[in-house]
Amino acid sequence: MDATKSLRAIAREVLGREDIACLIGYEKGSYGFRAQPCVLTEPDQADRLIFSPLCVHNLTNYLTLEQIGPLSKADIGKGKIAVVVKGCDSRAITVLCAENGIKRENLYVIGVHSPGVVDLKKIERRFPNAVEPAEVSLEGDSFTITCEGETASVPRSELVNAKCLRCKNNVPQGCDVVVEGPEHSMEDDFADIAALEAKPLEERAHMWQEQFSSCIRCYACRNSCPLCYCSECILDKLRPQFVRRSVDFPENLLFHSARAFHLAGRCIECGECERVCPQDIPLMVLNRKLARDVKELFGYEAGADPEQKALFVTFKPDDPNEGIL
Amino acid sequence: MSSFEPKIVAFLCNWCTYAGADLAGTSRYQYPPNVRVIRVMCSSRINPAFIINALLEGADGVLVSGCHPGECHYTSGNYMARRRLVLMHRMLEYLGIHPDRFRMSWVSASEGAKWAEVVTEVTEAVKVLGPNVIKREQVWMQQSL
Amino acid sequence: MASKRIGVYICHCGVNIAQNVRIDDLRAFAAGLPGVRVAQNYMYMCSEPGQEMIRKDIAENRLDRIVVVACSPRMHEPTFRNAMKSAGLNPYCLEMANIREQCAWVHKDADVATAKAKSLLAAAVTKVSLLEPLEEREVPVTKTAMVIGGGIAGIQAALDIADSGFKTYLVEKDASIGGHMMQLDKTFPTLDCSACILTPKMADIKNHPNIELLAYSEVTDVKGFVGNFKVTVKRKPRYIDENICNACGSCAKYCAIAIKDSFNAGLSKLQALHIPFPQAIPAAYVIDPLACRYTREGTCRQCEQVCKDLNAINLDMQEHSIELDVGTMIMATGFEPFDANRKPELGYGRYENVITGMEFERIVSASGPNQGQLLINGKKPKEVVFIQCVGSRDKTVGNEYCSRVCCMYTAKHAHLVREKLPDAKITIFYIDVRAFGKGYEEFYDRVKGEEVYYRRGNVSEVYRKGDKLICRGEDTLLGQALEVPADLVVLAVGLEPSPGARELGQLLKLSKSPDGFFLEGHPKLRPVETGSDGVFLAGCCQGPKDIPDTVAQAGAAAAKAIIPLAQGMVKTETMVARVRAEACRACGYCVDACPYDAIALGEVRLGRATKTAAVVNEVLCKSCGACSAVCLSGAIQQSGFTDDQLLAVIGAIGKEY
């Protein structure tokens, strides 16, 4: 059965319940390939929901944005928030709950087995003139794309988001209800990370200097990250001032490395930071490096276990002494 | 190259390495003057961002030193520090910062001689690398005194 | 931020600092730093006139922050804090720049040393301007002490504390107190009988109303801090109730299992059910569970039958742990004789007439396996060779240190041989003779006059030739190789740290010196203190020493351990963690990172609302700062080491001056 239909049926039931205040899902966008997040409160709004390869956002980001309309504190008091999550998104909820960012009992989690979402940058490059809302679905190994009245078929591998190609597990965890579909899971071999590590130090230095020099410090990466939700961000304060206000390579390097470090053992690799970056900085190439090292050094994986303590507040006496004099 | 005198910023825990560095002094072990010590109570106090900050603020190399594993004055602080700093060391190298620019060591209160050796080794290695070029370009905010 | 009024005081430390650092340059530099109102220098800042200089300036120039540029803060921080306090200034508005240990003493070139001193001084001025006044707190002390180790050091320390009126727990891992001193025959240089002078003290332990003896017990966990330690003690089952057993010994007659007698250095046997030695305290029997037929195989229980009336024996006794509150602790875990098997060339373990000094003690002891007769294989030895420095002053076995007692106990042994065997030929191989104590040189002289041949040199090998042992070595004074035949070779083994002390040291966070013994607080001025407040050292756990030194040190440790008990209050840490609830995410990272369980999540008031945030118990906080580094939002900060302060120091120290 079609995921959209199942989702709408669930939404109708859920939004009719007394204990649920609202539902965060995706609806058809108003422009090109952009599906958009929506917040529904009534059962008769259920038919606005969609689920397709255009549903790229990690909606769990909204759960910690308490100041936004329907999610303001006053409303949360009225009931649970239902949220639609893909496999990767669901792991963000695991981390958020483990660190008290949100309370699981205040949520109603609707999981969807996502077959992979498109890379918006790639699809927009392929169909540069899409203005009217387009539709994308996955048929077998190809995306069927209906755009400006014409239908095309493009192999999945050409347009799918890179993160979906190495998806650890598309089965959402810890859900209240799941819209089932094909399951797949695999081990990330981090081949791209290893390839970059194999390059000479100077080459890597040059690459990151170029990338971070282009950063305009719009903070979109931080704001789109479901796990960057401190009410006061330590990296843009004046006292203490870790990062200076100037937008240049040294400060940007500090900002991005400190942010990556804050996410070490927490980043669930939804890739939102990289998706929203207007400068196309490969932030996941940094985040995944840390994810790989954390796994290799400490056997730790973000969001793997709801009971696990945070990476940096635990230790094993026989953790590696790597490089210590 | 030979005239380059690097600046090494060292964060030392009060109980082991700072005491070990004091012992090096009491024992009159001579070592390179390039090292500048910042005392903290425990290596677990070191926020990894301090290390990059030190590099940006003018250090050519950074050293963090604490008690040997199992000998932390606060039981487990050095274990927590080790996790963070080993990972930090890997990340800096990945970002193109030479691994010799950031080192860690375990030096106990009785290892004055080891402290002198560590400082010598770290300083020599950074000398070979030359000056750190990633330094703050503009100073917008001077801490008012 | 209101601008601070900073005073900078540069110490010459006689010539210690002044010979390598240009004080005038430094003072001129300090005077030009922002916020500095006064910059002075003086010969000895820590002296009374030096401190008075600071107090006077605080009053006259309304200084509110002080920087002392001198030695290590580990040395004199308390001195200058007190000076500030007496001048009415908050003692935590102090920063020290260490230009002695970490500058003048380690860099000879005055140019570089002065440049480095400027950088350290500038960092200190930067930091002091950001320091906030902190408040000192006090908490009550549990007026009880614990002494770990029941040798002469522990016995003396426990008696001294108990005599001062404080309850004292004495924890001993073996079935009886007494330690190694109990095994000795005579003591040098006075030749007192060791047991005769020790057993009255052991009896005092048993009878003292303030002492609770926990024999056959081990410390397994220590929590808390000075004044308020919580110690877990494991009580091993001795299978015989020490409070009921009257040491009649009837039961032992029925025990058929023989084990090595460790009190007699393994030279004789005793039963699995035994009393360690006749004068044991507690005066009670004990069953070795590794040997007892019942505990091993589940059958026998004969001893229980014998003791039916008294019913002291309970073979089903279980190990259990107790938790004790104590205010201060003394480590008196002693030493372990060097294992002579680690010097295989000397033939120990291969030839039964090669023995250690400790075995010799038992052989010549009237209470030993031979009732004091010096017999080897039933015969009186005609030629006796002593080899000194076995396992001491020997880098090949990792012991660079001198064990301090072997020269004298070997002299004593030689004297005892002469006493028992007037015709024996006695040779002592030595490297140097160290007879440093009161009456020691005189005793050594006396022994030399008793036809004892001191040959300077090491023995490289001991081998058998016919029915004799041959000690091959070199007389370094004559520069000639020599071989000395022997019927008995006694190895003067050195002293090593007790193996069980290592783990215990980790529980108490004690540092070790390179020799493996516990490190004292300061080699000169804090000889019985440690890096852990409220924990003191007595006896050989701190380093090899003889009985008089051990007793003296035990008394000193007791006196130090009594201080907090007598004061009744201890100061808690001041540089504690503080939380800014507005920024706290209540993620609980700090709660998990705190080694002292000093942080918990709780509801705090924030304006009119309440919010969940981290809450610090300032009494439990030990000021490590682990919480501050794991906090993502910087909401929790260690006072005196805040992100703001440390970043400013990083900036100041990175600059060129």
For B86-123, give the DSSP string. HHHHHHHHHTT--GGGEEEEE--TT-HHHHHHHHHHHH
Average pLDDT value for chain C: 94
Residue at B87 is within a domain: yes
pLDDT at B67: 93
Interval C413-424 mean pLDDT: 96
Tell me the shortest Cα–Cα distance from B19 to chain A, in angstroms: 17
Tokens of A83: 């949220």
Answer positive or negative: Cα dihedral of C620, C622, C628, C629.
negative
* Degrees to nearest 5, angle at CA A30 with A24 and A31: 120
Residue C236 DSSP class = -
Whether residue C515 is predicted with pLDDT greater than 50 in this model: the reply is yes
Q: How far separated are the first and last CA of chain C, in Å rounded?
A: 25
Interval A55-79 mean pLDDT: 74
pLDDT at C511: 83
CA atoms within 13 A on the CB side of C340: 25
CATH number at residue B40: 3.40.50
Contact C131, C91 (CB under 8 A): no
Residue at B125 is within a domain: yes
Task: For residue C1, name the pLDDT band (cuts at 50, 70, 90).
Answer: very low
Interval A251-269 mean pLDDT: 95
Whether residue C3 is predicted with pLDDT greater than 60 in this model: the reply is yes
Whether residue B140 is predicted with pLDDT greater than 80 in this model: the reply is no
The span from the CA of A229 to the CA of C406, in Å, is: 68
Tokens of C645: 């302060």
Interface of B with C in 22-81 (CB under 8 A): 22-26, 28-31, 33, 36-42, 44-48, 50, 53-54, 57-59, 67, 70-77, 80-81
The span from the CA of C164 to the CA of C558, in Å, is: 10
CATH of C335-496 given 3.50.50.60, 3.40.50.300, 3.40.50.150, 3.40.50.970: 3.50.50.60
Tokens of A319: 């953790």
Element spanning C197, H or E: helix C194-207
Is the CB of A237 less than 8 angstroms away from the CB of C586? no
The CA–CA distances, whole Å, from C338 to A171, C343, C427 equal 63, 10, 22
Whether residue C97 is predicted with pLDDT greater than 90 in this model: the reply is yes
The span from the CA of C519 to the CA of B68, in Å, is: 15
Residue B36 contacts A where some CB pair is shorter than 8 Å: no
Is the CB of B87 less than 8 angstroms away from the CB of A324? no
Query: How many residues appear in chain A?
Result: 325
Q: Which long-range contacts (CB under 8 A, 24 or more apart) does C314-320 make?
A: C314/C239, C314/C240, C314/C241, C315/C239, C315/C287, C317/C237, C317/C238, C317/C239, C318/C237, C319/C234, C319/C235, C319/C236, C319/C237, C320/C234, C320/C235
Task: For residue C256, name the pLDDT band (cuts at 50, 70, 90).
Answer: confident
| Per-residue pLDDT tens digits for A142-156 | 999 998 888 888 998
Whether residue C155 is predicted with pLDDT greater than 90 in this model: the reply is yes
The span from the CA of A291 to the CA of C224, in Å, is: 37
Searching chain B, which residue's CA lies closest to the CA of residue C4?
B145
| Per-residue pLDDT tens digits for A160-187 | 998 998 888 889 999 999 998 888 888 8
The span from the CA of C257 to the CA of C255, in Å, is: 6
Q: Is A275 exposed, middle or buried (0-12, 13-18, 19+ CB in 10 A)?
A: buried
Give how many domains chain B has, as a whole number: 1
Buried b (16+ CB within 10 A) or exposed e, A181-191: beeeeeebebe
Phi and psi torsions of C522, nearest 5°: -155, 135
What is the domain partition of chain C in residue ranges? 6-134, 144-334+522-567, 335-496, 577-639
The CA–CA distances, whole Å, from C65 to C4, C73, C78, C91, C97 equal 7, 16, 15, 9, 14
Residue C629 contacts B where some CB pair is shorter than 8 Å: yes
Average pLDDT value for chain A: 90
Residue at B97 is within a domain: yes
Tokens of A9: 């049926």
Query: Which chain A residues have a beta carbon less than 8 Å from that of C635?
Result: 232
pLDDT at A74: 57
Task: For residue A52, name the pLDDT band (cuts at 50, 70, 90).
Answer: very high
pLDDT at C200: 95
Is the CB of B136 less than 8 angstroms away from the CB of A251? yes
Whether residue C119 is predicted with pLDDT greater than 70 in this model: the reply is yes
CATH architecture assignment, domain C144-334+522-567: 3-Layer(bba) Sandwich (3.50)
The span from the CA of A237 to the CA of A143, in Å, is: 45
Domain range for residue B100?
Answer: 8-129
pLDDT at A76: 56
Residue at B63 is within a domain: yes
Task: For residue A222, name the pLDDT band (cuts at 50, 70, 90).
Answer: very high
Interval C253-263 mean pLDDT: 90
C6-134 folds as: Rossmann fold (3.40.50)
Whether residue C127 is predicted with pLDDT greater than 90 in this model: the reply is yes
| Per-residue pLDDT tens digits for C296-337 | 888 889 899 999 889 999 999 999 999 999 999 999 999 999
Between C115 and C512, the higher pLDDT residue: C115
| Per-residue pLDDT tens digits for C455-491 | 999 999 999 999 999 999 999 999 999 999 999 999 9
Interval C374-401 mean pLDDT: 94
The span from the CA of C416 to the CA of C425, in Å, is: 13
pLDDT at B144: 40
C577-639 folds as: Alpha-Beta Plaits (3.30.70)
Contact C286, C216 (CB under 8 A): yes
Query: How many residues appear in chain C?
Result: 657
- What subunits make at least 3 CB pairs under 8 angstroms with A? B, C
Whether residue C140 is predicted with pLDDT greater than 60 in this model: the reply is yes
CA atoms within 13 A on the CB side of C646: 30
> Three-state DSSP class for C233?
strand
Between C110 and C225, the higher pLDDT residue: C110
Tell me the shortest Cα–Cα distance from C588 to chain A, in angstroms: 7
Tell me, letter by letter, the H, E, C secondary structure of C265-317. Answer: CCCCEEECEECCCCCCCCCCCEECCCCCHHHHHCCCCHHHHHCCCCCCECCCC
Interval A273-279 mean pLDDT: 95
Average pLDDT value for chain B: 91
The number of C-beta contacts closer than 8 angstroms across B and C is 165
Tell me the shortest Cα–Cα distance from B62 to chain A, in angstroms: 13
Interval C247-275 mean pLDDT: 91
Whether residue B142 is predicted with pLDDT greater than 60 in this model: the reply is no
Whether residue C31 is predicted with pLDDT greater than 70 in this model: the reply is yes
Residue at B134 is within a domain: no
| Per-residue pLDDT tens digits for A103-162 | 899 899 999 999 899 999 999 888 888 888 898 998 888 999 998 888 888 998 889 998
Is the CB of C648 less than 8 angstroms away from the CB of B37? no
What is the domain partition of chain A in residue ranges? 3-179, 191-313
pLDDT at A2: 85
Whether residue A75 is predicted with pLDDT greater than 90 in this model: the reply is no
Residue at B2 is within a domain: no
Whether residue B89 is predicted with pLDDT greater than 70 in this model: the reply is yes
pLDDT at C2: 59
The span from the CA of A212 to the CA of A206, in Å, is: 10
Residue at B68 is within a domain: yes
Task: For residue B1, name the pLDDT band (cuts at 50, 70, 90).
Answer: very low
Element spanning C364, H or E: helix C357-364
Tokens 């029915």 belong to C467
Residue C603 contacts A where some CB pair is shorter than 8 Å: no
What is the C-alpha R_g of chain B? 15
Searching chain C, which residue's CA lies closest to the CA of residue B42?
C624
pLDDT at B143: 43
Q: Is C378 exposed, middle or buried (0-12, 13-18, 19+ CB in 10 A)?
A: exposed
Query: Which residues, other chains included, contact C219 with Cβ-Cβ below 8 Å and sequence gap of 6+?
Result: C146, C148, C171, C231, C232, C233, C234, C504, C507
